[in-house]
């Protein structure tokens, strides 16, 4: 399925339930943190991913992200592409290769 | 830009920097929580979104989500679509319309 | 230093800056998540604690926790003691010893 | 109850269940983020605190914080007191009064 097609289903799903009244940017930002916590819980005491559980929690985080992109009126892919360009400049290949330090410590 | 095109750039970006060694599912799940916190910070003391800052932090959360989908070998859109189907069953329109309660309290 | 003494300093610090207007329970709950993310960031790509950084971020999380306890009018130690009693019942020694599973899977 | 007394109960509780093997600093930092998310969930769609639920989730966050302080060998109250001194310098009363901006924007 294409992202755009999924986004259409999601918007219809939300509209049918009259849930956009709850989807303020702030509530969605809270929801993303909450769901990120549930995703992290699948790794609370170990490092091994349970692919089914991880997928479901990851889906929740991403879905709220798409709703937030809609709520603030931006295109999800465009903002990622713009940020990747910025990150590319902060982490030039020759300096960043094989290193996990923050750009200001490279 | 299409999602697939962005994902190709992201994979190339990661590969050029030899960063996939750091991108274990667990590290990515931690990264999603960390970035979700930075996103939430843009709403720490008020409810009004600063669209530029929110977009940048949202981009970080979503980008790590796509990396995690890759790391566990699932398709990001497919897992969202599967989860939406499950949510649709938990929240039938007639019971859920206009209500923010969890499904077990509807 | 005793906890009570620290709490007195913290309340005075907040009052002098007229900050209790920002310390609604919701804003403090957001702040705890934000600071928890900063704490987690000290472990983003590895497992080894940097004691100085961890201490500072941990201090931020705990300080917002104490402010939230004040904001909802409960005693921080009493609520922990009450919760520990509940947890004790959910995780009897003989069933829980050496196991990290959730109580409903023991 | 005094904090020290609670900490003794908590250490005994952990020891009886042989759980310190799970309580690495990293696992506890993850646990703090997870529980912070559950605390935030009590404010997901509104601002009004449910004191009982908030107290229970707050207790979980604080309890993991105390376990982390033990795991890295620091005193919980001392690290908060040290951090408050640092914050006091960043936010002088005359500049910070009644303002929620970060110190670098004051």
**Domains within chain C, CATH numbers bracketed:** 23-74 (1.10.287.1080), 75-106 (no CATH)
* DSSP H helix total and E strand total for chain B: 5, 0
Q: Does B45 touch chain C (CB under 8 A)?
A: yes
C interface test, pick of A30, A43, A96 with most C CB neighbours within 10 Å? A30
pTM over 0.90: yes
Task: Name the closest residue on chain A to residue C32, using Cα atoms.
Answer: A33
Q: Is C48 on the interface with A (CB under 8 A)?
A: no
Does residue B37 contact residue B4 with C-beta atoms inside 8 Å? no
Q: Which residue of C has its CA nearest to A37?
A: C33
List the chains bordering chain C where 3 or more Cβ pairs fall under 8 Å: A, B, D
* Contact of B63 with A84, CB cutoff 8 Å: yes
- In this predicted structure, the answer to whether residue D27 has a pLDDT above a threshold of 90 is yes
Taking the Cβ of residue D25 and every Cβ of chain A, the question of whether any pair is shorter than 8 Å is answered with no
Tens of pLDDT, residues C17-62: 999 999 999 999 999 999 999 999 999 999 999 999 999 999 999 9
Write the residue in A22, A27, A37 that is nearest to D34 by C-beta: A37
Whether the CB-CB separation of B30 and A40 falls below 8 Å is answered with: yes
D4 touches chain B (CB under 8 A): no
Residue matched to tokens 């970035």: B35
User: What is the DSSP track for B49-70?
Assistant: --HHHHHHHHHHHHHHHHHHHH
Handedness of CA A54, B21, B61, B81 (dihedral sign): negative
CA separation, residue A77 to residues A69, C40, D104 (Å): 10, 27, 32
With a cut of 50, list the residues of chain A below it in pLDDT: none
Asked if residue D64 lies in contact with residue D71, where contact means CB atoms within 8 angstroms, the answer is no
CA B21, B24, B29, B30 dihedral sign is negative
Q: What is the pLDDT of residues D2-21, one digit of tens each?
A: 999 999 999 999 999 999 99
Would an 8 Å CB–CB cutoff place A105 in contact with chain C? no
Q: Give the whole-angstrom CA distance, residue C31 versus residue B71.
A: 30
Is the Cβ–Cβ distance between C6 and D83 less than 8 Å? Answer: no
Residues of chain B positioned with their CB less than 8 A from the CB of A89 = none
Q: Is the pLDDT of residue D1 over 90?
A: no
The token pair at A67 is 């709703």
Give contacts of A14 with chain D, Cβ < 8 Å. Answer: none
C35 CB-near residues (< 8 Å, 6+ apart): B37, C57, C60, C61, C64
A31 in reach of chain D (CB within 8 A): yes
Mean pLDDT, rounded, for D85-106: 94
CB B38 within 8 A of CB B60: yes
Which pLDDT value is given to residue C24?
98
Give the chain B residue whose CA is nearest to the CA of C34: B37
| Mean pLDDT taken over chain C | 97
For the stretch D38-80, pLDDT in tens is 999 999 999 999 999 999 999 999 999 999 999 999 999 999 9
- By percentage, how much of chain A surpasses pLDDT 90? 95
Provide the pLDDT for residue C106. Answer: 87
User: Are the C-beta atoms of residues C35 and D35 closer than 8 Å to each other?
Assistant: no
Out of C59, C62, C100, the one facing D62 most closely (by C-beta) is C62
Q: Does D30 touch chain B (CB under 8 A)?
A: yes
Sorted by sequence, the CB contacts under 8 Å of residue B93 that are 6+ apart come out as A16, A17
pLDDT tens-digit readout, B34-92 = 999 999 999 999 999 999 999 999 999 999 999 999 999 999 999 999 999 999 999 99
Distance of CA A71 to the CA centre of its chain: 14
Q: C94 to chain D: which residues are within 8 Å by CB? A: none
pLDDT at C49: 95
ipTM of the complex: 0.97
């Amino acid at each position: 399925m294409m992202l755009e097609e999924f986004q259409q289903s999601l918007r219809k799903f939300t509209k049918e339930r009259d849930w956009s009244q709850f989807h303020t940017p702030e509530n969605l930002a809270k929801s993303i943190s909450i769901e990120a916590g549930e995703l992290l819980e699948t790794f609370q005491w170990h490092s091994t991913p349970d692919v089914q559980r991880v997928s479901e929690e990851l889906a929740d985080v991403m879905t709220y992200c798409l709703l937030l992109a809609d709520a603030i009126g931006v295109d999800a892919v465009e903002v990622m592409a713009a940020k990747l360009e910025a990150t590319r400049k902060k982490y030039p290949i020759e300096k960043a290769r094989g290193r996990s330090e923050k750009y200001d410590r490279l």
